[in-house]
């Protein structure tokens, strides 16, 4: 069995005076966590224990009981009458921070011991604590769809209050974890982790090599009109469906307009104050737009893969993208577009895992330059232009070897899926080593038709769904399907 964890965010509706109680509770939680971090620093040996054993050891060192009436470092000097579940939540928070700190410190010492010139500064313990309060069982009760009882520290005593909950409801079949009190601006929210168990999917190698009908959803991420082009194909090479997710020009124009406004304001000011961020509202708009679109596109990718029964989601490994040269707005726009590609991959990976779909990445080398049918080099061009040469970013491709014509991004997505299959299939031996009449092993792809027309599998459901994915021009709405099909291919359909 496998499990997937996600977080349900719900807004709390409470009386104005209760806002101070939430802040007071969080302040106490961080003081207790900081105290236990100091205890761990004084007794580093607890870090070699498991979390459960370390928690028991820290309670013996700090909490007075009948068996240990005089603890070595009493917690009562920091706070009196701390509930057991509140104390244990703070201990686990301190343990997590301590393990992280000492792990980074060990890596730093290893690098320093190599003897080479080393100028990296060592990690330091947390200077301030801003952790959110984790509510273990006993700090909340009577949770319903629209309300919950919370136990808060008022500054003088612990008190139960009832607050209303608004937002997404908890799924009935999921297992609920310990919620957290999170502050967003001036409002307090309740973040509840939920865990869903499902049958563990097989490894990619097992799925690809044992079942020729395994479906793979390959995604080509772009910066132009289509932010993503998704194609579903089987291991044997049958192409089942394609989807174009648009909105690239809209978000690029929106982002470039705001970056240009920031550049003009900076030119008028001339000086940016040290330690302060300029144009906060404009930067927030850019960040929120990129975040929102990344979630929308990643969700549509996973929905498309799930709809067509794909069990593997594959992307390109894009790790060395550099922004275009030019004005500040152009450089900043391309840089943030590259960041958004990474976000889409990260968000799609965990959303796909929640649906039992495994995610992988392949080498992006020449995925846009190779033909998905014969793997020869293609010519890339725009409509109303001669089909010759290779124009990066052009919409159409033509293979001079097999005469395949189609959309460039769709061809690239098919090639991405084939590259994953090639990773686990044995490459065919050279022709002189293959016996005459014997069938050589090779990548299971669609065979070339003897006629001059494209095979039906290559045209299967070509561009059947052009999802907007992000904000589109309100005047045009959803783009017409025919507009995304090249004129040459339209004639074949």
User: Region 298-302: what's the mean pLDDT?
Assistant: 96
Which of 11-25, 160-174, 317-331 is modeled with the greatest confidence? 11-25
Question: Looking at the domain assignment, is residue 389 inside a domain?
Answer: yes
Is residue 434 assigned to a domain? no
Tokens of 61: 């060192």
The answer to whether position 433 is within a domain reads no
Q: Is the pLDDT of residue 468 over 50?
A: no
pLDDT band at 362 (very low <50, low <70, confident <90, very high): very high
Quickly tell me which residue has 């009196």 as its tokens: 80
| Residue 336 domain boundaries | 204-270+278-427+442-492
Give me 50's structure tokens.
């498991």
Say yes or no to pLDDT of 432 above 60. no
Tokens of 291: 């975040």
Residue 424 pLDDT: 86
Residues 6+ positions from 236 with CB-CB distance below 8 Å: 212, 213, 444, 445
Task: Please give the pLDDT value at position 263.
Answer: 87
Q: Is 215 helix (H, G, I), strand (E, B) or coil?
A: strand
Residue that terminates a domain, selected from 198, 214, 233: 198
Same domain as 318, residue 421? yes
Residues 331 and 387 in one domain: yes
Give the pLDDT score at 454. 43
Choose one of 198, 217, 238: the last residue of a domain. 198
Give yes or no for a contact between 375 and 369, defined as CB atoms under 8 angstroms apart.
no
Same domain, 66 and 192: yes
**Is the same domain home to 241 and 266?**
yes
Mean pLDDT score, 425-450: 43
In a domain, 437, yes or no: no
Task: Give 186-221 pLDDT, tens digit per residue.
Answer: 999 999 999 888 888 889 999 999 999 999 999 999
Least confident range from 63-77, 128-142, 202-216, 459-473: namely 459-473
Residue 131 — very low, low, confident or very high, per pLDDT cuts 50/70/90?
Answer: very high
pLDDT at 222: 87
Q: Residue 453's pLDDT is what?
A: 41
Domain boundary among 155, 181, 198: 198
Q: What is the pTM of this model?
A: 0.69
Looking at the fold, whether 183 and 222 belong to one and the same domain comes out as no
Considering the chain, what percentage of its residues have pLDDT values greater than 90?
A: 56
Neighbours of 388 (CB within 10 A): 11
Structure tokens at 432: 């002189």
The answer to whether position 210 is within a domain reads yes
Do 113 and 233 have their domain in common?
Answer: no
* CB-CB contact of 469 with 246 (8 Å): yes
* Residue 446 resides in a domain: yes
pLDDT at position 38? 96
- Residue 28 CA to residue 87 CA, distance in Å, equals 10
Q: How many Cα atoms are found within 13 Å in the side-chain-facing hemisphere of 385?
A: 15
Cα(450)–Cα(156) distance, integer angstroms: 85
Domain membership of residue 167 (yes or no) is: yes
Residues 447 and 464 occupy one common structural domain: yes
Residue 108: enclosing H or E segment and its boundaries? Answer: helix 84-112
| HSE, side-chain direction, 13 A CA sphere, residue 56 | 5
Q: What is the pLDDT of residue 333?
A: 83
pLDDT of residue 467: 54
- 141 phi/psi in degrees, rounded to 5: -160, 170
Q: Select from 77, 121, 94 the least CA-distant residue to 34.
A: 94
Domain count, the chain: 2
Output the six-digit token pair for 260. Answer: 């240009």
Q: Which helix (H) or strand (E) holds 449?
A: none
pLDDT of residue 426: 60
Do 450 and 305 fall within a single domain? Answer: yes
Q: Grade residue 324 by pLDDT with cuts at 50, 70 and 90.
A: low
User: Per residue in 248-285, pLDDT tens?
Assistant: 889 989 998 998 898 888 888 777 777 777 888 999 99
221 exposure class (CB count in 10 Å sphere: 0-12, 13-18, 19+): buried
pLDDT number for residue 384: 83
Mean pLDDT over all residues of the chain?
84
Asked if pLDDT for residue 133 goes beyond 90, the answer is: yes
Average pLDDT over residues 239-248: 92
The CA distance from 3 to 197, in Å, is: 4
Question: Does one domain contain both 212 and 68?
Answer: no
190 with 325, same domain: the answer is no
Q: Which distant-in-sequence residues (6+ apart) come within 8 Å of 326 by Cβ?
A: none
Give the separation between CA 93 and CA 35, rounded to whole angstroms: 11
- Of the listed ranges 47-61, 65-79, 133-147, 261-275, the least confidently predicted one is 261-275
Mean pLDDT is highest, among 161-165, 338-342, 464-468, for: 161-165
- Tell me the CATH number at 376: 3.30.420.140
Same domain, 157 and 10: yes
- Any residues with CB less than 8 A from the CB of 420 and at least 6 apart, and which? 204, 208, 216, 218, 312, 314, 360, 362
CA dist., res. 335 & res. 318, Å (int):
13
Domain annotation covers residue 381: yes
User: Judging by beta carbons within 10 Å of its beta carbon (0-12, 13-18, 19+), is residue 15 exposed, middle or buried?
Assistant: exposed
* pLDDT for 489: 32
Which is more confident, 215 or 333? 215
Q: Are residues 312 and 379 in the same domain?
A: yes
Provide mean pLDDT across the span 158-184: 92
């Amino acid at each position: 069995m496998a499990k997937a964890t996600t977080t349900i965010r719900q807004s709390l509706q409470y009386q104005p005076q209760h806002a101070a109680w939430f802040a007071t509770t969080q302040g106490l939680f961080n003081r207790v966590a900081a105290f236990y971090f100091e205890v761990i620093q004084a007794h580093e040996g607890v870090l070699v224990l498991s979390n459960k054993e370390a928690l028991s050891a820290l309670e013996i060192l700090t909490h007075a009981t009948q068996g240990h009436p005089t603890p070595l470092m009493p917690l009562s000097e920091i706070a009196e009458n701390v509930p057991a579940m509140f104390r244990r939540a703070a201990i686990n928070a301190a343990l997590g921070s301590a393990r992280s700190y000492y792990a980074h410190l060990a890596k730093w010492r290893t690098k320093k011991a190599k003897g080479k010139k080393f100028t990296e500064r060592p990690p330091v313990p947390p200077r301030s604590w801003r952790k959110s309060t984790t509510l273990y069982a006993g700090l909340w009760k009577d949770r319903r769809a629209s309300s919950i009882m919370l136990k808060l520290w008022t500054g003088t005593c612990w008190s139960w209050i009832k607050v209303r909950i608004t937002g997404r409801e908890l799924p009935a079949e999921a297992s609920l974890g310990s919620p957290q009190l999170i502050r967003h601006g001036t409002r307090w929210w309740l973040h509840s982790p939920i865990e869903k168990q499902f049958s563990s999917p097989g490894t990619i190698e097992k799925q690809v090599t044992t079942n020729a009908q395994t479906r793979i959803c390959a995604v080509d991420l772009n910066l132009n009109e289509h932010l993503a082009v998704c194609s579903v194909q089987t291991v044997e090479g049958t192409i089942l469906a394609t989807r174009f997710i648009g909105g690239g020009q809209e978000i690029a124009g929106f982002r470039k307009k705001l970056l240009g406004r920031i550049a003009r304001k900076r030119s008028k000011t001339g000086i940016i104050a040290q330690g302060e961020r300029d144009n906060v509202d404009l930067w927030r708009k850019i960040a929120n737009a990129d975040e929102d679109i990344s979630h929308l596109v990643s969700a549509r990718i996973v929905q498309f893969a799930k709809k067509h029964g794909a069990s593997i989601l594959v992307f390109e490994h894009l790790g060395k993208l550099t922004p275009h040269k030019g004005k500040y707005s152009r450089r900043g726009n391309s840089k943030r577009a590259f960041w958004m590609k990474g976000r889409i991959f990260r968000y799609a990976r965990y959303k796909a895992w929640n649906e039992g779909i495994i995610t992988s990445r392949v080498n992006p080398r020449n995925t846009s330059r190779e033909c998905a049918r014969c793997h020869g080099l293609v010519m890339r061009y725009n409509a109303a232009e001669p089909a010759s040469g290779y124009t990066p970013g052009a919409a159409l491709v033509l293979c001079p070897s097999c005469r395949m014509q189609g959309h460039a991004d769709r061809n690239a997505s098919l090639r991405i899926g084939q590259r994953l299959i090639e990773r686990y299939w044995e490459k065919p031996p050279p022709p002189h080593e293959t016996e005459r009449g014997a069938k050589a092993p090779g990548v299971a792809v669609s065979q070339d038709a003897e006629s001059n027309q494209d095979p039906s599998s290559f045209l299967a459901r070509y561009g059947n769904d052009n999802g907007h994915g992000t904000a589109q021009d309100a005047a045009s709405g959803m783009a017409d399907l025919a507009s995304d099909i090249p004129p040459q291919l339209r004639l074949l359909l």
